[in-house]
A = this chain, B = another copy of it.
Amino acid sequence: MAADLKHSSARAVYVISVAAELAGVHPQTLRIYERKGLLDPARTGGGSRRYSERDIERLRRIQDLTTAGLNLEGVRRVMYLEDEVTRLQRELARVKQEASEAVERTHRQYRRDLVPVSNTPAPWQPGR
Protein backbone atom coordinates (compact mmCIF):
# COMPACT_ATOMS: atom_id res chain seq x y z
CA MET A 1 0.00 0.00 0.00
CA ALA A 2 1.02 3.57 -0.64
CA ALA A 3 1.77 4.43 2.94
CA ASP A 4 0.28 7.56 4.46
CA LEU A 5 -2.31 8.85 1.99
CA LYS A 6 -6.03 8.61 2.49
CA HIS A 7 -7.74 7.17 -0.54
CA SER A 8 -11.36 8.28 -0.13
CA SER A 9 -13.24 8.11 -3.43
CA ALA A 10 -13.74 11.89 -3.66
CA ARG A 11 -10.03 12.64 -3.25
CA ALA A 12 -8.39 10.61 -6.00
CA VAL A 13 -4.67 11.22 -6.15
CA TYR A 14 -2.25 10.75 -9.04
CA VAL A 15 1.52 10.64 -9.20
CA ILE A 16 3.23 13.20 -11.40
CA SER A 17 3.65 10.94 -14.43
CA VAL A 18 -0.05 10.11 -14.49
CA ALA A 19 -1.07 13.72 -13.93
CA ALA A 20 1.23 14.82 -16.76
CA GLU A 21 -0.23 12.21 -19.05
CA LEU A 22 -3.78 13.23 -18.15
CA ALA A 23 -2.99 16.82 -19.14
CA GLY A 24 -0.76 15.90 -22.10
CA VAL A 25 2.37 17.64 -20.89
CA HIS A 26 5.87 16.79 -19.75
CA PRO A 27 6.20 15.91 -16.06
CA GLN A 28 8.89 18.53 -15.68
CA THR A 29 6.37 21.12 -16.80
CA LEU A 30 4.27 20.33 -13.75
CA ARG A 31 7.24 20.99 -11.50
CA ILE A 32 7.70 24.35 -13.23
CA TYR A 33 4.05 25.21 -12.67
CA GLU A 34 4.41 24.42 -9.00
CA ARG A 35 7.56 26.52 -8.69
CA LYS A 36 5.70 29.45 -10.25
CA GLY A 37 2.80 29.07 -7.83
CA LEU A 38 0.20 27.79 -10.28
CA LEU A 39 -0.27 24.44 -8.57
CA ASP A 40 0.23 23.13 -5.07
CA PRO A 41 -0.17 19.35 -5.13
CA ALA A 42 -0.08 17.28 -1.96
CA ARG A 43 3.10 15.53 -0.90
CA THR A 44 3.68 12.09 0.53
CA GLY A 45 5.89 11.60 3.57
CA GLY A 46 8.76 10.76 1.21
CA GLY A 47 8.32 14.00 -0.76
CA SER A 48 6.51 12.73 -3.86
CA ARG A 49 3.78 14.91 -5.35
CA ARG A 50 0.19 13.67 -5.44
CA TYR A 51 -2.28 15.45 -7.71
CA SER A 52 -5.97 15.59 -6.84
CA GLU A 53 -8.84 15.75 -9.31
CA ARG A 54 -9.03 19.48 -8.63
CA ASP A 55 -5.34 19.80 -9.47
CA ILE A 56 -6.00 18.06 -12.78
CA GLU A 57 -8.84 20.44 -13.61
CA ARG A 58 -6.64 23.39 -12.78
CA LEU A 59 -3.89 21.86 -14.86
CA ARG A 60 -6.17 21.64 -17.85
CA ARG A 61 -7.14 25.29 -17.40
CA ILE A 62 -3.46 26.23 -17.33
CA GLN A 63 -2.95 24.32 -20.55
CA ASP A 64 -5.85 26.17 -22.19
CA LEU A 65 -4.41 29.53 -21.23
CA THR A 66 -0.82 28.82 -22.21
CA THR A 67 -2.04 27.39 -25.51
CA ALA A 68 -3.87 30.69 -25.97
CA GLY A 69 -0.51 32.44 -25.69
CA LEU A 70 -0.30 33.59 -22.08
CA ASN A 71 2.85 33.20 -20.06
CA LEU A 72 2.72 31.76 -16.56
CA GLU A 73 2.38 35.02 -14.66
CA GLY A 74 -0.54 35.91 -16.92
CA VAL A 75 -2.11 32.52 -16.24
CA ARG A 76 -1.82 33.15 -12.52
CA ARG A 77 -3.59 36.48 -12.68
CA VAL A 78 -6.23 35.40 -15.17
CA MET A 79 -7.23 32.39 -13.08
CA TYR A 80 -7.50 34.59 -10.01
CA LEU A 81 -9.64 37.14 -11.84
CA GLU A 82 -11.84 34.46 -13.36
CA ASP A 83 -12.55 33.14 -9.88
CA GLU A 84 -13.38 36.68 -8.82
CA VAL A 85 -15.80 37.11 -11.73
CA THR A 86 -17.70 33.90 -11.04
CA ARG A 87 -17.84 34.79 -7.34
CA LEU A 88 -19.35 38.17 -8.18
CA GLN A 89 -21.78 36.64 -10.66
CA ARG A 90 -22.99 34.21 -8.02
CA GLU A 91 -23.38 36.96 -5.45
CA LEU A 92 -25.25 39.10 -7.95
CA ALA A 93 -27.68 36.29 -8.70
CA ARG A 94 -28.16 35.67 -4.99
CA VAL A 95 -28.84 39.34 -4.25
CA LYS A 96 -31.34 39.59 -7.09
CA GLN A 97 -33.15 36.50 -5.85
CA GLU A 98 -33.24 37.78 -2.28
CA ALA A 99 -34.44 41.19 -3.45
CA SER A 100 -37.51 39.83 -5.22
CA GLU A 101 -38.21 37.61 -2.24
CA ALA A 102 -38.04 40.59 0.07
CA VAL A 103 -40.59 42.53 -1.99
CA GLU A 104 -42.85 39.50 -2.16
CA ARG A 105 -42.58 39.04 1.58
CA THR A 106 -43.54 42.66 2.13
CA HIS A 107 -46.59 42.24 -0.11
CA ARG A 108 -47.70 39.13 1.71
CA GLN A 109 -47.32 40.80 5.06
CA TYR A 110 -49.68 43.65 4.15
CA ARG A 111 -52.12 41.24 2.50
CA ARG A 112 -52.32 39.31 5.68
CA ASP A 113 -53.05 42.50 7.58
CA LEU A 114 -55.69 43.75 5.15
CA VAL A 115 -57.73 40.73 4.15
CA PRO A 116 -59.19 37.93 6.26
CA VAL A 117 -57.70 34.72 4.98
CA SER A 118 -61.05 32.86 5.09
CA ASN A 119 -62.83 35.27 2.71
CA THR A 120 -60.97 36.27 -0.47
CA PRO A 121 -62.50 35.98 -3.94
CA ALA A 122 -60.72 39.12 -5.31
CA PRO A 123 -58.94 40.69 -2.41
CA TRP A 124 -57.21 43.75 -3.76
CA GLN A 125 -56.71 45.57 -7.07
CA PRO A 126 -53.55 47.61 -7.35
CA GLY A 127 -54.70 50.63 -9.35
CA ARG A 128 -58.30 51.01 -8.18
Chain A contact residues, CB within 8 Å of chain B = 65, 68-71, 73-75, 77-78, 81-82, 84-85, 88-89, 91-92, 95-96, 98-99, 102-103, 106-107, 110, 114
Contacts and interface: CB of A to CB of B under 8 A. Distances in A.
A66 to B, nearest CB: 10
Contact of A78 (B74, B99, B114): B74
23 contacts: A69-B73, A70-B70, A70-B73, A71-B74, A74-B75, A74-B77, A77-B78, A78-B81, A81-B81, A81-B84, A81-B85, A85-B85, A88-B88, A91-B92, A95-B95, A96-B99, A98-B99, A99-B99, A99-B102, A102-B103, A103-B103, A106-B106, A106-B107
